[in-house]
Amino acid sequence: MGNTVLNNTTAVVTGASSGIGAAVAEALAAEGAAVVLLARRRDRLTQLADAINARDGGRARSYEADVTDADAVRAAIDTAVRDCGGIDVLVNNAGSGTWSPALEAELTDWHAMVDVNLNGVLNVTHAALPHLARAAATHDRGVADLVTISSVAGRRVPRSTSNVYAATKHAVGAFSEALRQELAGQHVRAGLVEPGVVATELTTSGREGAPDATNPTGYGVLQPSDIADAVVFMVTRPRHTAINEILVRPTEQTV
């Protein structure tokens, strides 16, 4: 077993089947958290949970859930709470994106981004928030964490083709800030991590757009573990310290 800062805590990570979410889950497990992995691809979740459970002290469970399905999300969160005894950390990470000029875009692609990146965050947060508040009030750590993976595109519009993707990320930024204000007194820390370009399926598989569309200059990009480092830093601060926002770009990224 490595670090133990998050011993006796449970961390839920959405979109844990690949990329940033998988790296965050591994990093939180390495800090001692029992991790709950949510996503749609069951095989990928099972693979990661098995790998974490095979490590010394590793504890992982996985639940298949589409974050756009509020009932499925609530059922998964309720099951996780029953199985693990509560939720101390929630990482809202599941997301998707398509980047194209508005004049050429499919309306269904716009709605899909709103469904996953905004409504998905709302569905998971609504189901998990009472459990986070309870953990902050009753668990030894005396604090709970709600981290949302936004984007540089949640701070500014990097290019015109970021249109709806940037709109969804700005929206979750506003939501997170409102939660921060409401829940600070209860020691639920709501924070944002805003990555620049990270090498994941979102940017490299072509599933969500060609790599050239997101990284036209060809500079060295971030790895998922770079973002996991930021999340771990946030959720391992002492009770009196809240890291509200971390913007992480590849060194050479200017937009």
Ligand X SMILES: NC(=O)c1ccc[n+]([C@@H]2O[C@H](COP(=O)([O-])OP(=O)(O)OC[C@H]3O[C@@H](n4cnc5c(N)ncnc54)[C@H](OP(=O)(O)O)[C@@H]3O)[C@@H](O)[C@H]2O)c1
What residue ranges bind ligand X (CB under 6 A)?
14-21, 39-41, 44, 66-68, 93-97, 116, 120, 149, 151, 195, 197-198, 200-203
Query: Two tokens at 157?
Result: 């519009």
Residue 5 one-letter amino acid: V
Query: Two tokens at 142?
Result: 């005396």
Give the nearest distance from C-beta 148 to ligand X in angstroms: 8
Q: Quick count: other Cβ atoms within 10 Å of Cβ 102?
A: 10
Residue 176 is classified by DSSP as H
The whole-angstrom separation of Cα 81 and Cα 68 is: 20
Nearer to ligand X, 25 or 143 (CB): 25
Residue 162 one-letter amino acid: S
The whole-angstrom separation of Cα 204 and Cα 20 is: 13
Give the nearest distance from C-beta 130 to ligand X in angstroms: 21
Give the nearest distance from C-beta 60 to ligand X in angstroms: 14
Query: Two tokens at 233?
Result: 């830093």
Nearer to ligand X, 96 or 236 (CB): 96
Give the nearest distance from C-beta 138 to ligand X in angstroms: 29
Rg for the chain, CA atoms, rounded: 17
Of the residues 63, 99, 110, 165, which is catalytic? 165
User: Is residue 219 annotated as part of the catalytic site, yes or no?
Assistant: no
Nearer to ligand X, 66 or 109 (CB): 66
* Active site amino acids: 165
